[in-house]
């Protein structure tokens, strides 16, 4: 569990830091970022895990979302991993597409060669990364999870599959029904093969329909998002939640798109949503 600090920057009385480490789950060197609020100097604090979207790294959210000010006020650490394994020998899309391969891990455990050698992002986010964070930093075992787009898909599916590990989940513009959209079908076929029973393990609509334990969920979706109808399909998830009685709040935000302008507008509300559930446990 050796980690190497590669940057440290003070912000709002706390510290934003980046680290490298050798990942067992992903069989490569990984980078993650952590924001430690000022309260972490005197006590352990809860953690919000943030999962970014296609083509992103740990830096997009930390640099663009404006989350540190509120995290410092609320006393919440934020951990942002990369979106996929990287490095020499890690398989990529043969044509270099943005929606598959490097930067597009989809937060699942690949079973199809050659991706099964490295693409185990679900195991990394659920098990390995929290173990590292809790071993090296002044944090409690109280966790929530959030994300954007592909990362929103990851946050929802991981929370739905691991309800005992997360107090709350939220998402911006998540891919809600990947079994029925081009991004998801491409990723699932490439990482998992043609067995749709495997696909169901990583589809929020399927998981929510079969859930036995509930994690409070908040989803924000912009009405002017170019990917809304073809790729994201939030109303499909909302329909399942209504049928199931699942505690999901879906908020359609008029005029907003898929960008970090959208995320930065509502990130404070998401952090306060998570703080409420983290303090309750």
Active site residues: 149, 225, 258
Instruction: Name the nearest CA neighbour of 208 among 253, 164, 238, 249.
Output: 238
State the Cα–Cα distance between residues 106 and 120, nearest whole angstrom: 10
Strands 169-172, 28-36: pairing kind? unpaired
Whether 223 contacts 254, CB under 8 Å: yes
Judged by DSSP in three states, 2 sits in coil
Contact indicator for 180, 153 with CB cutoff of 8 Å: no
Dihedral sign of CA atoms 87, 93, 97, 100 in order: negative
SS3 229: helix
**Run of H or E residues at 100:** none
């Amino acid at each position: 569990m050796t980690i190497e600090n590669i940057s440290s920057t003070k912000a709002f009385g706390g510290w934003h830091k980046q680290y490298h480490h050798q990942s067992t789950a992903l069989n490569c060197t990984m980078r993650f970022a952590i924001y430690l609020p000022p309260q972490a100097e005197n006590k352990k604090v809860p953690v919000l895990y943030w999962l970014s979207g296609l083509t992103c790294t740990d830096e997009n959210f930390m640099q663009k979302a404006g989350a540190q000010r509120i995290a410092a006020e609320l006393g919440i650490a934020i951990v942002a991993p990369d979106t996929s394994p990287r490095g020499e020998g890690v398989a990529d899309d043969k044509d270099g597409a943005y929606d598959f391969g490097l930067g597009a891990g989809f937060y699942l455990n690949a079973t199809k060669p050659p991706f099964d050698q490295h693409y185990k992002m679900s195991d990394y986010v659920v098990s390995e990364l929290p173990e590292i964070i809790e071993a090296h930093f002044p944090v409690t075992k109280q966790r929530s999870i959030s994300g954007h787009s592909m990362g929103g898909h990851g946050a929802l599916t991981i929370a739905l599959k691991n309800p005992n590990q997360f107090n709350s989940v939220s998402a911006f513009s998540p891919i809600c029904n990947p079994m029925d959209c081009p991004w998801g079908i491409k990723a699932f076929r490439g990482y998992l093969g043609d067995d749709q029973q495997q696909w169901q393990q990583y589809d929020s609509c399927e998981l929510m329909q079969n859930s036995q334990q509930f994690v409070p969920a908040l989803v924000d979706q912009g009405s002017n998002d170019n990917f809304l109808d073809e790729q994201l399909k939030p109303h499909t998830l909302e329909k399942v939640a209504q049928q199931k009685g699942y505690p999901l709040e879906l908020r359609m935000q008029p005029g907003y798109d898929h960008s970090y302008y959208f995320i930065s507008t509502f990130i404070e509300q998401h952090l306060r949503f998570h703080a409420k559930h983290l303090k309750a446990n």
